[in-house]
Structure 1
Amino acid sequence: MTPLIYLGAALAEIFGCFAFWAWLRLGKSALWVAPGMVSLALFAWALTMVESALAGRAFAAYGGVYIVASLGWLWAVEGARPDRWDIMGGAVCLLGAALILFGPRGH
């Protein structure tokens, strides 16, 4: 369930941030901000659903998922295909996220 929560959180965060980008950098209407803020609140709520006793660990692992989801956004929404460096970097980030979240703990 955690990977799905992370994916949903990433999409919510990326859309929320892109709404501000569209308004401030692409000249879109300021009306983009309202759904962007709702999306950012949904992102924050979603991260609280991750099965982790520690927020910092949940947030750190999420970072890798966010990076890969951002590369997907780059391709799907902005029309720029990730290059081999993007893909390799994303793979390293996902590996790091998995180590942080699922690595054995000495507790």
Structure 2
Amino acid sequence: MIPARSVALFLLAALFEIGGCWLVWQGVREHRGLGWIGAGVVALGVYGFVATLQPDSHFGRILAAYGGVFVAGSLVWGVVADRFRPDRFDVIGAVVCLIGVGVIMYAPRGR
């Protein structure tokens, strides 16, 4: 099933991109060192590869839709990794973004 594969790839991409950014952040802003930064750079490279595995072949569509996944995923990452407490506007914004993902990626199109 293509939508299930697509969603799984979006989640995997989010793990690597958000995780990679977080590792670089920790290395630089929290002074954890070059090892953290290097691991982040590697994770970001893996993210770039994972994004190419999407079944849809339109780069702009994939990256536009992934933006919504990134927004929601970043908030979840913050809750889990940094004990961030999103407010109702964060949650509403993330839901709006995920609705956008659904419209961009999975709306029926006449092809």
Band the TM-score falls in, shorter-chain normalisation: over 0.9
Q: 1:56-106 CA distances to partner (integer Å, 9 max, x unpaired)?
A: 101111111111110001100000121111110000000011101112223
| Aligned residue among 17, 22, 27 for 1:23 | 27
**Structure 1 stretch 87-96 or stretch 12-21: which is displaced more?**
12-21
Aligned pairs for 1:1-107 within 5 A: 1-107=5-111
Distance in 1 between residues matched to 2:26 and 2:90, nearest whole Å:
23
**Structure 1 stretches of 4+ moved >3 Å:** none
Structure 2, gaps ≥5 residues long? none
Offset at residue 37 of structure 1 (A) = 1.3
Shift of 1:53: 2.0
Report if the CA contact (8 A) 2:28-2:37 is conserved.
Answer: no
Q: TM-score, normalised by structure 1?
A: 0.94
**Which secondary structure state, in structure 1, belongs to the residue aligned with residue 82 of structure 2?**
coil
Question: How far apart in 1 are the matches of 2:35 and 2:84?
Answer: 26
CA-atom RMSD in angstroms: 1.0
Deviations 1:9-30 (A, max 9, x none): 0010011111111121111111
Consecutive unaligned residues in structure 1, runs of 5 or more:
none
Structure 1 CA distance, aligned partners of 2:106 and 2:91?
A: 22
2 CA distance for matches of 1:43 and 1:53?
17
Q: Residues 13 and 47 of structure 2 are in contact (CA less than 8 Å); yes or no, is this contact kept in structure 1?
A: yes
Q: Distance in 2 between matches of 1:8 and 1:28?
A: 25
